[in-house]
């Protein structure tokens, strides 16, 4: 029984994701495909446009057998923690043989070679890294230059490009955790991660979000029902190349697409309330950024404008967005350090599964090395304090998400999605 794990965000699911799922079965002959999916927030520091329940349904419709939630601390963390948490969850399922991910080069040997250099830090690497830093390169460029001295395969201009970063981190986490899971990769097709123009078929999730958001804006401005329908069909027309038809219907049937700026007032209030103490206790926030937040607070209008105001050569927009989300959700650096020290503890939160995959679930219940939680009422099974506090923060993050999506049920009322 070959089981392949895929880590994903599906914000929203598009044909690139569908392709990866199909490849797992066709190219790599998986009997089962399990997903580890971020919950209500994603790694770039934004709430997902539709809830994790809707995204779970999309995943099952696209062919996943079961979907598990990546706890919010990992889901919103920088690449190292994100990948380590996801691999820890896959390890804890106890029956996953492979992890599959997309990369720029599609070459798993190259990815693994880079990962092992970064993990082992051989002397030659360290020497080259120091040289680059002394030459005034920033850390990412110095690392890339040092790697290129040690590795000759491949011909990409940057070894650790945005599409390779997570793949490398998955491999590092597999090695560091002594995992029995082996990595697989396919070459990513289509748009770049951050591409905002829709390409044919393989668009990035962010360009799809743009289309949905601008459709929503136009709908708001014009309140006549007739124009609404027209706009809906124009949004549909521009997305039908990029999202499988049944999933697009589900996506368009949602009447609200969430976005970070919906939480501007809440964050503003929290920033004001804690201004006098500073923000360095939150994950990823160093003294400089904390001081900058305090200094610019009188100019706060929306989170996106504020992130724009704070960004600099050293701190990217996404990095700041993620930091601000950590403040909003109350995720501290102390928590992240503790998780790392404890080898990224997790619990197994089942978000959904396919009816005809119940054999897989039976297997997981047997092989799982962490408590399986299908309903929140199962949470009494958690005895470990770290697992308990992970879950409490997940519930809080979800409650904050639903402050603005009140139609959805709260964490304790949600059933597992079954297809």
State the binding site for ATP: 7-20, 102, 163, 188
Choose among 266, 267, 264, 261: nearest CA to 279. Answer: 267
- Give DSSP secondary structure letters for 136-185: T--HHHHHHHHHHHH--S---S-TT-HHHHHHHHHHHHHHHTT-S-EEEE
- Residue 171 contacts a copy of itself per CB under 8 A: no
Q: How far apart are CA 84 and CA 81, in angstroms?
A: 5
Single residue of 1, 359, 369, 403 touching a copy of itself by CB under 8 A: 403
Q: How far is the CB of 330 from a copy of itself (least distance, A)?
A: 6
3-state secondary structure of 94: coil
Angle at which helix 162-176 crosses helix 79-93, to 10 degrees, equals: 50
Q: How far apart are CA 288 and CA 281, in angstroms?
A: 13
Tell me the backbone φ, ψ of residue 68, rounded to 5 degrees. Answer: -120, 150
Single residue of 62, 171, 400, 417 touching a copy of itself by CB under 8 A: 400
Chain centroid offset of residue 381 CA: 26
CA angle 127, 175, 27 (to 5 degrees): 115
Q: How far is the CB of 375 from a copy of itself (least distance, A)?
A: 16
Using the minimum distance from each CB to a copy of itself, give the nearer residue, 186 or 396. Answer: 396
Q: How far is the CB of 263 from a copy of itself (least distance, A)?
A: 9
Q: Which stretch binds a copy of itself (CB under 8 A): 36-44, 154-162, 339-347, 399-407?
A: 399-407
Please identify which residue in the block is written with the tokens 């994950």.
283
Number of residues that this document lists for the chain: 419
- Residue 296 contacts a copy of itself per CB under 8 A: no
Using the minimum distance from each CB to a copy of itself, give the nearer residue, 107 or 261. Answer: 261
Q: How far apart are CA 68 and CA 301, in angstroms?
A: 36
Could you list the residues known to form a binding site, using ranges. Answer: 7-20, 102, 163, 188
Q: How far is the CB of 389 from a copy of itself (least distance, A)?
A: 8
Q: Would you state the structure tokens that stand for residue 158, as one six-digit string?
A: 């940057």
Can you point out the beta strands (E) in 208-283? none
Contact predicate 62/35, CB 8 Å: no
- Residue 407 contacts a copy of itself per CB under 8 A: no
- Residue 409 contacts a copy of itself per CB under 8 A: no
Contact predicate 416/374, CB 8 Å: yes
Single residue of 298, 314, 377, 383 touching a copy of itself by CB under 8 A: 298
Instruction: Mark residues 191-230: x for contact with a copy of itself by CB under 8 A, - for none.
Output: ----------------------------------------
Using the minimum distance from each CB to a copy of itself, give the nearer residue, 374 or 389. Answer: 389
Residues from 74 through 133 that contact a copy of itself (CB under 8 A): none
Q: Which stretch binds a copy of itself (CB under 8 A): 27-35, 201-209, 240-248, 396-404?
A: 396-404
Using the minimum distance from each CB to a copy of itself, give the nearer residue, 139 or 269. Answer: 269
Residue 206: CB atoms within 10 Å: 16
Q: Which stretch binds a copy of itself (CB under 8 A): 96-104, 312-320, 364-372, 393-401?
A: 393-401
Using the minimum distance from each CB to a copy of itself, give the nearer residue, 190 or 330. Answer: 330
Single residue of 61, 133, 137, 396 touching a copy of itself by CB under 8 A: 396
N- to C-terminal Cα distance for the chain?
Answer: 21
Q: Would you state the structure tokens that stand for residue 195, as one six-digit string?
A: 């591409």
With CB under 8 A as the rule, give the number of residues binding a copy of itself.
17
Kindly report the three-state secondary structure assignment for every residue of 119-142.
HHCCHHHHHHHHHHHHCCCCHHHH
Provide CB contacts within 8 A for 401, sequence distance 6+: 40, 41, 47, 51, 258
Please identify which residue in the block is written with the tokens 């986490």.
173
Residues from 308 through 337 that contact a copy of itself (CB under 8 A): 330
Q: Which stretch binds a copy of itself (CB under 8 A): 12-20, 159-167, 282-290, 398-406?
A: 398-406
Contact predicate 124/150, CB 8 Å: yes
Using the minimum distance from each CB to a copy of itself, give the nearer residue, 270 or 340. Answer: 270
- Residue 384 contacts a copy of itself per CB under 8 A: no
Residues from 227 through 286 that contact a copy of itself (CB under 8 A): 265-266, 268-270, 272-273, 275-276
3-state secondary structure of 165: helix
Binding residues (CB under 8 A) for a copy of itself: these are 265-266, 268-270, 272-273, 275-276, 298, 330, 392, 396, 399-400, 403, 410
């Amino acid at each position: 029984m070959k089981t392949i794990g895929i880590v994903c965000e599906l914000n929203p699911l598009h044909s690139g994701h569908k392709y990866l799922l199909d490849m797992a079965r066709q190219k790599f002959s998986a009997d089962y495909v399990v997903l580890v999916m971020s919950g209500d927030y994603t790694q770039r520091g934004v709430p997902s446009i539709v809830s994790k329940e809707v995204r779970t349904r999309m995943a099952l419709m696209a062919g996943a057998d079961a979907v598990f939630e990546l706890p919010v601390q990992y889901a919103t963390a920088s690449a190292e923690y994100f990948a380590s948490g996801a691999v820890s969850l896959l390890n804890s399922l106890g029956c996953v043989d492979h992890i599959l991910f997309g990369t720029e080069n599609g070459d798993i040997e190259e990815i693994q070679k880079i990962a092992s250099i970064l993990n082992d830090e051989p002397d030659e690497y360290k020497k080259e890294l120091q040289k680059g830093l002394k030459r005034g390169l920033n850390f990412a460029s110095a690392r890339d230059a040092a790697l290129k001295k040690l590795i000759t395969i491949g011909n990409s201009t940057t070894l650790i490009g945005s599409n390779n970063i997570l793949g490398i981190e998955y491999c590092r986490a597999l090695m560091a955790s002594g995992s029995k899971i082996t990595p697989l990769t396919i070459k990513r097709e289509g748009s770049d991660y951050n591409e905002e123009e829709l390409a044919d078929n393989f668009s990035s999730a962010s360009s799809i979000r743009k289309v949905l958001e601008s459709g929503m804006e136009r709908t708001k401005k014009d309140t006549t029902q007739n124009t609404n329908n027209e706009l809906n069909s124009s949004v549909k027309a521009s997305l039908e190349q990029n999202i499988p038809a049944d999933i697009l219907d589900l996506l368009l049937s949602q009447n609200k697409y969430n976005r970070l700026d919906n939480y501007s007032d809440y964050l503003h209030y929290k920033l004001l309330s804690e201004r006098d103490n500073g923000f360095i206790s939150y994950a990823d926030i160093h003294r400089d950024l904390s001081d900058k937040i305090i200094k610019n607070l009188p100019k706060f209008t929306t989170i996106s404008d504020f992130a724009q105001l704070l960004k600099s050569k050293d701190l990217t927009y996404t990095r700041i967005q993620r930091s601000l989300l950590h403040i909003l959700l109350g995720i501290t650096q102390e928590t992240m350090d503790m998780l790392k020290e404890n080898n990224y503890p997790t619990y197994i939160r089942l978000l959904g599964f396919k009816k005809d995959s119940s054999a897989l679930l039976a297997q997981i219940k047997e092989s799982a090395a962490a408590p399986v939680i299908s309903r929140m009422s199962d949470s009494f099974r958690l005895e470990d304090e770290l697992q308990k506090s992970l879950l409490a923060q997940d519930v809080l993050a979800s409650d904050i998400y639903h402050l603005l999506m009140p139609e959805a049920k709260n964490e304790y009322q949600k059933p597992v999605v079954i297809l």
